[in-house]
A and B are shown apart, each in its own frame.
Chain A
Amino acid sequence: ETGVTQSPTHLIKTRGQQVTLRCSSQSGHNTVSWYQQALGQGPQFIFQYYREEENGRGNFPPRFSGLQFPNYSSELNVNALELDDSALYLCASSPLVGPAEQYFGPGTRLTVT
């Protein structure tokens, strides 16, 4: 086990709603990255947080936003949910900022109906 935890494990939302997903990083890790993994695809980078600031962003619209807290835990917020947002959302923590080795939590499976 990596020590990265995520909540909730599963979530069902309706199109247009908003959702908040949570992640606690592994002890000693100060960097958190979020990924979206659709069925049959590899994880796609959403953004990375370091020292409570966004430190890189993938090709996702502004309705995907995040936060990092002083204890390095993080939240992913998605507004105005669309059907295509249905996916596994993965949080990964790293002891180094940037594209270093990353350790994943078990993910949150979001279904938008």
Chain B
Amino acid sequence: RKEVEQDPGPFNVPEGATVAFNCTYSNSASQSFFWYRQDCRKEPKLLMSVYSSGNEDGRFTAQLNRASQYISLLIRDSKLSDSATYLCVPDGGATNKLIFGTGTLLAVQP
């Protein structure tokens, strides 16, 4: 089983739509979780941290289900500028690393 599994997409949605990405992780010892966004050929940028059951920041909502080892990211009122790859990132448990999924590609259409 992969350490982090994400639907690679692409998710093609119209502007203004609501879109949700799902992610499962295999390490039950993971304590910290992050969502990063990555534009084509650029570095990942931190979008949101999730330490408890969830977090909300404007149009973005992350939810964490530790029992199911599942994280989600909801984007409301999608903008053209939201087009990017979204990376689900749990920590490595007892190790000092972050574990990146392969990402989900979002394309917001005008």
Contacts and interface: CB of A to CB of B under 8 A. Distances in A.
Interface of A: 2, 33, 35, 40-45, 48, 50, 55-56, 58, 88, 90, 97-107
Contacts of A56: 95-97
16 contacts: A33-B97, A33-B98, A42-B101, A42-B103, A45-B99, A48-B97, A55-B96, A56-B95, A99-B91, A99-B92, A100-B32, A101-B34, A101-B49, A104-B43, A104-B44, A106-B43
Contacts, number: 57
Nearest to A42: B100
Is chain B's interface secondary structure helix, strand, loop, or mixed overall? loop
If over half of A's interface residues share one DSSP class (helix, strand or loop), that class is named, otherwise mixed; here it is loop
Given A99-B32, A101-B34, A43 B97 contact: no
Contacts of B98: 33, 45, 99, 102
Contacts of A58: 97
Contacts of B106: none
Contacts of B49: 101
Nearest to B44: A104
Interface of B: 4, 31-32, 34, 41-46, 49, 87, 91-92, 95-103
B92 A103 contact: no
B46 A41 contact: no
A99 B31 CA distance: 9
B96 A43 contact: no
Given A42-B87, A42-B103, A99-B32, A48 B96 contact: yes
Contact of B102 (A40, A88, A100, A107): A40
Contacts of A44: 100
Nearest to B36: A104
